[in-house]
Amino acid sequence: MKVKSFLLSILLVLTASQSMAERLKDIASVAGVRENQLFGYGLVIGLNGTGDDTDFTNQSFISMLNQFGITLPDGVDTDSDNVAAVSLTATLPAFSKPGQAIDVTVSSLGNADSLRGGTLLLSALKGADGQVYAIAQGNLVVGGLGTNGIDGSRQGVEIPTVGRIPNGATVEKAVANSFNRGDTLTFNLNRPDFTTSKQVADKINSLLGPGVAQSLDAASVRVTAPRDPSQRVTFLSILENLEVELGRERAKIVVNSRSGTIIIGQDVTVAPAAVTHGSLTVTIRANAELGGNALPGAGQDVIPRQGIDTDEESGHMFVFTPGASLNDIVRAVNQVGAAPGDVMAILEGLKQAGALNADLVVI
């Protein structure tokens, strides 16, 4: 009773406080609580002449008939345009119990033209360990549409060889997890960061007391938790709704070389440097000016002045800012009509020269 009263009092304090920070459930996951991928093989029947004629489809069809005691004579042609071999994929959510239903994605393995109107026969879905965790069967929902011309041309909308069966698989076996084991729970941050990890531990300790949470590294925070399953669920419900201030991300620039898109993150700065690219010259300079009316050597203030100059042939562009940032460089280069490729080349040159104080990521 004391534990329940304590958890209830924590919950009341938590709901009374409001913050603009992120909830812990949105930035971290509980170790051992995860989804599992399932995979299977099956046959889709009832197609209107849009099936496939591959050897493995015929073998699967014959094997299915044998299971029902039907043996075909030798030399009988089993080719059928109404059958297609398919792969099955599904995601088994954490804590799924036998009898619950999950969605199944069905994809053609052969040269079927469409799976529209087909029905998946009873098929097993296995996990990475080879054990069967779900059984799938049902009618497909196919959103694609394809047409063939007399001259062999083809026009398609979406992909008609992939379909879904909503709630098409029944869970047959639960996956064991470590949620109710031991005296601790571990939160793993979605984006590892030492500052965020420390702030998560500090937030939990400020609510539950010192030493309850320990920051293990940039990604993990270990929390002492009740052993009783019902109390552990309530305990985790409280913690996952804690609002935590996130640490600021590292200065980063993401460049998409295919589309020419450049994303500049916060805190990106540049050091004094000069870059020449074709007829375009970019100069990042840092000068010092004397403040006030004092004479040199009389203990006057030194005021740093930084700016960016760009020069393309006979055209000149001058941009002065209190602090030279990468945003100023991109703006200055754009004003002289430089292409995104020029900006990418300049960024790469600045990084190689050690003048770019950020991570440059090219995708």
What pLDDT does residue 151 have?
A: 56
Q: Where are the beta strands (DSSP E) in 63-153?
A: 84-92, 101-108, 119-126, 132-139, 145-148
**In this predicted model, what pLDDT tens digit does every residue of 260-300 receive, in sequence order?**
777 777 777 777 666 665 665 656 555 444 344 444 444 54
Between CA 175 and CA 97 the distance in angstroms is 8
Which domains does the chain carry?
Answer: 2-33+178-244 (3.30.1360), 36-171 (no CATH), 252-362 (no CATH)
Q: Which residue, among 62, 79, 80, has the nearest Cα to 71 in the 3D structure?
A: 62
Q: CA nearest 212: which of 204, 176, 250?
A: 204
Angle between helix 340-352 and helix 326-335 axes, rounded to 10 deg: 140
Residues of the chain short of pLDDT 50, as ranges, are 1-19, 287-298, 300-308, 310, 312-323
**pLDDT for res 201:** 94
Rounded to whole angstroms, what are the CA distances from 52 to 16, 70, 95, 110, 146? 62, 22, 38, 6, 15
What's this model's pTM, rounded to 2 decimal places? 0.65
- Residue 151 corresponds to which tokens in the numbers above? 């001259």
Distance CA 363, CA 342 (A): 17
Q: What is the pLDDT of residue 79?
A: 66
Write down the pLDDT at residue 230: 83
201: helix, strand or coil: helix
Q: Rounded distance, CA 348 to CA 250, Å?
A: 18
Non-local CB neighbours of 190 within 8 Å, separated by 6+ positions: 27, 28, 29
**312 touches 324 (CB < 8 A):** no
Query: Of 332, 327, 312, 318, which is closest to residue 262 (Cα–Cα)?
Result: 327
pLDDT for the residue 190: 92
